[in-house]
Structure 1
Amino acid sequence: MTHRVHPYIFRLGQITVWKSRWFNQKKFQEYLREDTLLRAWLERHLRQSHIESIEVERSPNTLHIIVKTSRPGILIGRGGEGAERLKDEIKKRIIKIWKQRGKLPDKREIKLTIEEVRFPETHAAIAAQMIVEDIERRISFRRALKQAIEKISASKDVKGVKIALKGRLDGAEMARYEWLKRGRIPLQTLRANVDYAEKRAETTYGTIGVKVWIYKGDVFEKKESKKT
Structure 2
Amino acid sequence: MGQKVNPISLRIGVNQLWDSRWSHDKKYTKYLEQDLSIRSFIEDLCNYQEILIGKLSIWRSCSMDSLTINIKEVKNVKPNLFIYFQMYVPYKTYSNNKEQKQEWLINLENTIYSYLEDRFRNSFTLSLLIDPIFEEGSMDYKRTKQKNEIDSVFNNDLVKWLLNKDCLMISQWIANEFQKRKGLKEVCKTIEKCFDYIKTEGIDLKYRLDGIKITCSGRFKMTDNEKRRNKMARIKTFKKGQIPLQTLSKYINYHMATAYTPDGTSGIKIWISYEPREILDVGLTGE
Q: Same fold (TM over 0.5)?
A: yes
Aligned to 2:127: 110
Aligned to 1:81: 103
Whole-Å separation in 2 of the counterparts to 1:111 and 1:188: 37
Aligned to 1:4: 4
Q: 1:3 to 1:194 in 2, by over 3 A?
A: closer
User: What is the CA RMSD across the aligned residues, in angstroms?
Assistant: 3.0
* TM-score, normalisation: structure 2: 0.67
* TM-score, normalisation: structure 1: 0.82
Aligned to 2:16: 16
Aligned to 2:33: 33
How far has the Cα of 1:69 moved from its partner?
Answer: 3.5
Check whether the contact 2:2–2:246 (CA below 8 A) recurs between aligned residues: no
Alpha-carbon deviations, 1:171-226, whole Å to 9, x = none? 65211101111110001112212111100001111110011111113774454236
SS at match of 1:169: coil
Q: Establish whether residue 167 from structure 1 lines up as the match of residue 169 from structure 2.
A: no
Larger deviation: 168-177 or 213-222?
A: 213-222
SS at match of 1:142: helix
- Which of 182, 185, 188 aligns to 1:139? It is 182
Q: Establish whether residue 57 from structure 1 lines up as the match of residue 36 from structure 2.
A: no
Whole-Å separation in 1 of the counterparts to 2:90 and 2:234: 36
Q: 1:83 to 1:57 in 2, by over 3 A?
A: farther
Whole-Å separation in 2 of the counterparts to 1:176 and 1:90: 39
Alpha-carbon deviations, 1:55-93, whole Å to 9, x = none? 011123321111123559979x74743443222222333
Q: Establish whether residue 201 from structure 1 lines up as the match of residue 259 from structure 2.
A: yes
Q: 1:29 to 1:82 in 2, by over 3 A?
A: farther
Aligned to 1:179: 237
SS at match of 1:158: strand
Whole-Å separation in 1 of the counterparts to 2:276 and 2:127: 36
Q: 1:207 to 1:13 in 2, by over 3 A?
A: same
Check whether the contact 2:89–2:132 (CA below 8 A) recurs between aligned residues: no
Amino acid at match of 2:112: I
SS at match of 1:119: helix
Amino acid at match of 1:114: D
SS at match of 1:91: helix
Q: 1:96 to 1:202 in 2, by over 3 A?
A: farther
> What fraction of aligned residue pairs are identical, expressed as a percent?
25
SS at match of 1:188: coil
Check whether the contact 1:192–1:218 (CA below 8 A) recurs between aligned residues: no
Q: 1:145 to 1:49 in 2, by over 3 A?
A: same
Q: 1:25 to 1:159 in 2, by over 3 A?
A: closer
Amino acid at match of 1:53: K
Q: 1:192 to 1:72 in 2, by over 3 A?
A: farther
Amino acid at match of 2:34: E
Check whether the contact 2:81–2:124 (CA below 8 A) recurs between aligned residues: no
SS at match of 1:68: strand
Q: 1:128 to 1:223 in 2, by over 3 A?
A: farther
Check whether the contact 2:83–2:128 (CA below 8 A) recurs between aligned residues: yes
Unaligned runs of 5+ in 2: 63-78, 134-156, 200-207, 222-227
Structure having the higher Rg? 2
Amino acid at match of 1:69: M
Whole-Å separation in 2 of the counterparts to 1:25 and 1:126: 31
How far has the Cα of 1:14 moved from its partner?
Answer: 2.0
